């Protein structure tokens, strides 16, 4: 079980890093034009032809809410890539947090929501800890509420984006290394953890379903039977089989939104994971090439495919987060010096 859940965690990181350069491309013709030879892994390019970062704004009410740091100057400008300073094979901020969550569990011998919130706050408030230009709405709302005097455990918001699932594979992988298997308890911990930032029924339901799916796969159950039992609220393998006659971009792009909104984004992720259940590489690249919120769909697609298949060794060695993952946990998760832009 431990090995399967660890591979699922790595699969989620691979899927995010693979999708990172084409994250939030909704015009797939532009995606194909800007990245005609997309491969794992590719560095992002400026300008991002579909970027709407120019529409976004975030002004911290005080220093406690400053989580953009030196990236704030790029907000409100056209064409800016959301991940412009990341290198090929690097993970976006939500998956960097996933790695630190995994390490926190190993370091402490278990999951402690209070300790995790302290770590999360410290990391996001540290200039240079990550190099993402964009941070999701739930981060901005959390720190705005924190800066207004609300207790950390009450700073989550009603957010129905699939980014809520980014840390689920990491959480399960960490628990599997420090505890005896307890599926019911682990699913409860997943729900408790996600609720700290995403107090939304769709987000909680999808996170619990993903946890149950990964635990079932780690017990050696077949994917079709797992999905039949765990995803009746979304779609079944029977529906996925009917969809498989169409191009992936027809299903994820026309029939189902490629955007971040649950529950569609979870259904889209499950479909891609089912269709490519025996082909890790094809599934990871298809998810990326469908555009939209492909990075966060990667939490589902990558973890399921990683739990079912061997991940190419060069994809692991070229993944920047690999060196951050240890068996005992990193004793100092916050760098003493900011990361460079090189």
Q: Would residue 332 count as lying in a domain?
A: no
Q: Domain containing 188 — which CATH number? A: 1.10.4080.10
Considering the domain boundaries, does residue 127 fall inside one?
Answer: no
Per-residue pLDDT tens over the stretch 282-323: 999 999 999 999 999 999 999 999 999 999 999 999 999 998
pLDDT at 330: 42
195: pLDDT strictly greater than 50? yes
The tokens describing 281, both together, are 């590489």
The verdict on residue 240 lying in a domain is yes
Summarised one tens digit per residue, pLDDT across range 154-177 is 999 999 999 999 999 999 999 999
Q: Kindly tell me if the per-residue pLDDT of 42 is higher than 50.
A: yes
For residue 339, pLDDT beyond 50: no
Q: Which domain holds residue 93?
A: 2-51+82-106+155-324
Number of domains observed in the structure of the chain: 1
Residue 336 has pLDDT above 60, yes or no: no
CA-based max dimension of the chain: 53
- How remote is the C-alpha of 33 from its chain's centroid? 25
Residue 117 lies in a domain: no
Residue 189 is predicted with a pLDDT of 98
Instruction: Report the alpha-carbon distance of residue 248 to residue 254 in Å, rounded.
Output: 10
Q: Assess whether pLDDT exceeds 60 at residue 260.
A: yes
Across 30-36, average pLDDT? 97
CA distances from 289 to 2, 10, 314, 333 (A): 31, 20, 21, 32
Asked if residue 60 is part of any domain, the answer here is no
For the cut 90, the answer to whether the pLDDT of residue 116 exceeds it is yes
Nearest to 245 by CA among 227, 271, 266, 270: 271
Tell whether the model's pLDDT for residue 196 goes beyond 70: yes
CA distance 295 to 41: 13
Mean pLDDT of the chain: 93
Contacts of 57 (CB under 8 A, 6+ apart): 75, 76
CA distance 234 to 294: 19
Q: Does some domain include residue 136?
A: no
Res 40: pLDDT: 84
The pLDDT confidence band at residue 338, using thresholds 50, 70 and 90, is very low
295: in domain: yes
The reported pLDDT for the residue numbered 327 is 52
**Within a domain: 132:** no
Residue 220, phi-psi category: left (phi > 0), alpha (psi -120 to 50), beta (remainder): left
């Amino acid at each position: 079980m431990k090995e399967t859940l660890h591979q699922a965690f790595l699969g989620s990181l691979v899927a995010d890093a693979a999708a990172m350069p084409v994250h939030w491309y909704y015009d797939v013709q532009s995606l194909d034009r800007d990245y005609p030879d997309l491969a794992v892994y590719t560095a992002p390019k400026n300008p991002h032809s579909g970027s709407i970062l120019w529409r976004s704004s975030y002004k911290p009410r005080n220093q406690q809410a400053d989580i953009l740091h030196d990236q704030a100057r790029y907000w409100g400008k056209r064409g800016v890539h959301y991940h412009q300073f990341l290198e090929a094979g690097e993970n976006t901020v939500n998956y960097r947090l996933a790695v630190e969550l995994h390490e926190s569990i190993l370091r402490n011998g278990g999951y402690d929501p209070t300790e995790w919130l302290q770590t999360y706050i410290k990391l996001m408030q540290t200039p240079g800890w990550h190099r993402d230009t964009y941070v999701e709405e739930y981060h901005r709302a959390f720190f705005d509420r924190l800066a207004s005097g609300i207790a950390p455990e009450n700073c989550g918001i009603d957010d129905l984006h699939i980014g809520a699932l980014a840390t689920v594979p990491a959480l399960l992988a960490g628990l599997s290394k420090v505890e005896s298997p307890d599926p019911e308890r682990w699913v409860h911990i997943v729900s408790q953890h996600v609720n700290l930032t995403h107090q939304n029924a769709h987000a909680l339901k999808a996170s619990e379903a993903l946890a149950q799916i990964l635990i079932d796969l780690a017990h050696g159950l077949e994917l079709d039977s797992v999905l039949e039992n765990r995803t009746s609220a979304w779609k079944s393998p029977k529906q996925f089989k009917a969809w498989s006659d169409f191009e992936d971009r027809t299903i994820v792009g026309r029939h189902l939104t490629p955007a971040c909104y649950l529950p569609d984004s979870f259904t889209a992720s499950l479909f891609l994971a089912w269709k490519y259940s025996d082909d890790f590489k094809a599934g990871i690249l298809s998810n990326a090439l469908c555009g939209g919120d492909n990075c966060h769909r990667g939490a589902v697609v990558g973890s399921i495919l990683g739990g079912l298949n061997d991940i190419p060794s060069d994809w692991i060695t070229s993944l920047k987060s690999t060196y951050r993952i240890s068996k005992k946990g990193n004793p100092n998760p916050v760098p003493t010096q900011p990361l460079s832009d090189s």
